[in-house]
Structure 1
Amino acid sequence: MILTQCAVCATELGLTLGKKCGRCSTRYCGAACQVQHWKEGGHDKLCKPIKKAGGAEQYNANKKYTEAVAVAAEACAEDTKGQTCYICTQALHWKTKEGLVRGCACRGTAGLAHVSCLAEQAKILIAEAEENNLGAKAIHSRFQRWDKCSLCEQDYHGVVSCALGWACWKTYVGQPEGGWLRRLAMSVLGNGLFEAGHFEDALAVQEADLAMMRRLDVPEKTMLVTQGNLARTYVMLGQVEHAVRIERDIYSAELKLYGAENRQTLVSANNYASSLFKLERFDEAKSLLRRTVPLLRPFFGESHEFTLRMRSLYAKALYYDEGATLDDIREAVTTLEDVAPSARRVLGGAHPLVSLVQRDLKCARAVLAAREAEG
C-alpha cells in the first residue's frame, strides 16, 4: 500500500510525519528505528536498489504491481487459455512475460489483454492530452481508461482492477504530491484495492488521499467523491454506522451543490441507500430509492451497470422488509426478473453483479411463494 507507516515499527505517519532515509526515502518514525533497520532489518543491502528504482514509494509500487499482475493473470488463466492480446497480438507479453487478463464485460475472444498493454494505452492517451493542451476535462475523461474497458465501456473489476490500480500508481507516483495526476492515481489505486477485496489497504490509501486533499485545500466537490469511496470501504470493514453518517452528509451536500437530478448525486444516493439497507432501515432505503431510481435512465441508460445495481437494491429493500405487502414482494420479483437478463447480457456471466442478482431473484421468488401459500 502507500507508505504511511514506519518501516520498522509500523507507527502511523500519515503523509508528513517522521523522517526519511536520505538516500532512498524509506520512512521511519525516528532515528532509532532507522538505525535498527540499517543494522538488523536488511536496509543496508536494499537501500541502493530502492534508490535506483526511484525511491521507496516507487520501489514499493513496482513490487506490488508485479505481484498484482501475477495474481490477475493466474485468476484469468482458464478464460484466456490459447488466446492472444488484442493490443499486441501476443499470448505472453514480449517484455514482462505476463499472461492475459479480462475483467470487464467483453466476451468470447474480445477484451483479452496484458495489464502492461492496457497500462501503456492509458499512459499514451494521458500524455497526448497533456502534450496537446487539451484541458482538464479531456484529460480527466481519458484518465478513465485506467479503470474502464475501451471496447465494452464497462469498469474493470476484481483482481484486474487491482492490477491496473497498481499500474496507475506506479506510473504517476513520482509526480508532485499536489499534482492532479498523482491524486487521480491514488484514487484509482484505492478503487482497485477495494475491487480486489483488500479493504484494509484500500482504507489506508483513501485516508491518505483525503488527508492530502484537505492539506491542499482541494474543492469540496472533489473531496466528496473521496469521502464516498472511504464510506464504501468502511461498510466492507463492518463499520456501517460510521459509513452511513458520512454518506448522509455527502448526499445532503450534493443535493445542495448539484440538485437531485445529477449523476454524482444519484451515485451518492445509491451508496447511502445501500448502507441503510445493511442496517435494516428498510423504510428509509425504500423512500430514498423510490425518489432516485426513476431519475437514473437519463444519466446512465436502461442497461448501465449502475442502473441495474440500483434497481436490484430497490427490489431487495422491498422483499427483505418484514412488513412488506404481497404487492411489494411481487414488485421485487418483477424487477429482478427484468434486471437479471439485462445484467447478464451487458456485463457477462462472470461479473459479480450477475450472480448476486440471480441469487436475489431466487430468494425473492421463495419469499413470494411462501407468502402466497399463506393465502
Structure 2
Amino acid sequence: RGVAMNVLGNGLISAKHYEDALTVQEAELSMLRRVGAPEHSILVAQTNLSTTYARIGRHEQALQMSRDVYSGELKLYGEEHGRTVVAACNYATSLVGLERFEEAKSLLRKMIPVAQRILGDSHDHTLSMRSIYANALYQDTCATLDDLSEAVTTFEDTARIARRVLGGAHPSTVNMERALQHARAALRAREAEAVRVADRAAAGALQRDLYALRRRFELACEAGTVQVAERDALQRDLDAIQRRLEVR
C-alpha cells in the first residue's frame, strides 16, 4: 500500500496537481508512522512532503519539515554522509527562501567543508551548497562589502566548475551564472554607495577646515596682528579648500 501511495503521489507531482499530491503524501507519512516503518522510509516521505509544501507556497511548513529531515538524517547516518549533505542543502534552501540568512550561513559554513571532504569540490551537491551560501551572502540586506565580495568570488568559482563538469547549457550552470551577475550588480552598487559616503565625509571635513581657517583669518585681520605674507598664505589656503569643495 505504501508503494502504491508513493507512486500515486509522484504521478500527481509530475502532472503538477500539487494540492492532490499533498493529500496523498500526508496520508502516506501518517501511514508509515502508524505501521512503524523504518526511519529512512519516513525521512524520504518527509523530504517529498517538504518539497510539495514549498511548491504550493507553504514555506514555513516546508522549513519545519526540512529541519526535521536534516535532524533525522544526522541522527541516523551522521554528519559525513551523502544523505545528510542533501538534507542540509534542502534545509538551507528553505532558510534562504524565508530570508533567515544567518541561520543558513551558519549551517552551510559547517556543512560545505563536509561536502567537499566526502563528495569533492565538483560534485553537484557541493556546488549547490556553495551557491546557496553565496545567495545567503548577497541577498542579505545587512551584507557587508566583504560579504558581497565573497559571494561574487564563490559564484565565479562554482560557475567555472559547473561549466567544466556539467556544461554551459546545464540549468545549474545557467542559474549560477545568472546569480553571479546579480551578485556583481549588488557589489557594484554597494561600492558606489561606499564611495559616496566617503565623499560626503571628506566634504564635511573640508567644510570644517574651511570654517576654522576663515575664522582664524577674520580674527587675525580684526586684531591687526597678521603680517601681509601670513595673510596671503591664509587666503591661498582658503582658496585651495574652496576649490576642492567646488570640485566635489
Cα 1:252–1:337 shift into 2, 3 Å: same
Q: Determine the structure 2 residue equivalent to 1:210.
A: 29
Structure 1 counterpart of 2:152, from 327, 333, 337? 333
Structure 2 counterpart of 1:305, from 117, 121, 124? 124
CA distance in 1, matches of 2:65, 2:181: 33
Q: Aligned partner of 1:203: which letter?
A: L
How far the C-alpha of 1:191 sits from its partner, in A, is 5.5
Q: Aligned partner of 2:110: which letter?
A: R
Q: Aligned partner of 2:93: which letter?
A: S
Structure 1 counterpart of 2:6, from 186, 189, 198? 186
Secondary structure at the residue paired with 1:218?
Answer: coil
Q: Determine the structure 2 residue equivalent to 1:323.
A: 142
How far the C-alpha of 1:192 sits from its partner, in A, is 7.1
Q: Determine the structure 2 residue equivalent to 1:355.
A: 174
Cα 1:373–1:331 shift into 2, 3 Å: same
Q: Determine the structure 2 residue equivalent to 1:292.
A: 111
Q: Residues 265-284 of structure 1 correspond to what in structure 2 (within 5 A)? A: 265-284=84-103
Q: Residues 72-87 of structure 1 correspond to what in structure 2 (within 5 A)? A: none
CA distance in 2, matches of 1:350, 1:208: 39
How far the C-alpha of 1:198 sits from its partner, in A, is 4.9
Alignment partner of 1:242 is 2:61:
yes
How far the C-alpha of 1:261 sits from its partner, in A, is 1.9
Q: Aligned partner of 2:6: which letter?
A: M
In the superposition, the TM-score normalised over structure 2's length comes to 0.69
Secondary structure at the residue paired with 2:162?
Answer: helix
CA distance in 2, matches of 1:367, 1:279: 20
Secondary structure at the residue paired with 2:22?
Answer: helix
Cα-Cα RMSD: 2.4
CA distance in 2, matches of 1:365, 1:206: 41
Q: CA offsets per residue over residues 311-357 of structure 1, 9 Å max, x none?
A: 10000001111111111111110111111132233334443322221
CA distance in 1, matches of 2:38, 2:154: 38
Aligned length: 194
In the superposition, the TM-score normalised over structure 1's length comes to 0.47
Q: Determine the structure 1 residue equivalent to 2:72.
A: 253
Q: CA offsets per residue over residues 238-289 of structure 1, 9 Å max, x none?
A: 1011111122222223333222222222211111111111111111111111
Q: Aligned partner of 1:371: which letter?
A: R
Secondary structure at the residue paired with 2:36?
Answer: coil
Q: Determine the structure 1 residue equivalent to 2:40.
A: 221
CA distance in 2, matches of 1:348, 1:271: 23
How far the C-alpha of 1:216 sits from its partner, in A, is 3.1
Secondary structure at the residue paired with 2:164?
Answer: helix
Q: What residue ranges of structure 1 are gaps of 5+ in the alignment?
A: 1-176
Q: Is the 8 A contact 2:85 2:125 kept in 1?
A: no
Identity of aligned residues (%): 57
Which structure: greater helix fraction? 2
CA distance in 1, matches of 2:66, 2:107: 13
How far the C-alpha of 1:208 sits from its partner, in A, is 4.1
CA distance in 2, matches of 1:354, 1:192: 28
Q: CA offsets per residue over residues 44-94 of structure 1, 9 Å max, x none?
A: xxxxxxxxxxxxxxxxxxxxxxxxxxxxxxxxxxxxxxxxxxxxxxxxxxx
Q: Determine the structure 1 residue equivalent to 2:51.
A: 232
Q: Residues 89-104 of structure 1 correspond to what in structure 2 (within 5 A)? A: none
Q: Aligned partner of 1:199: which letter?
A: Y
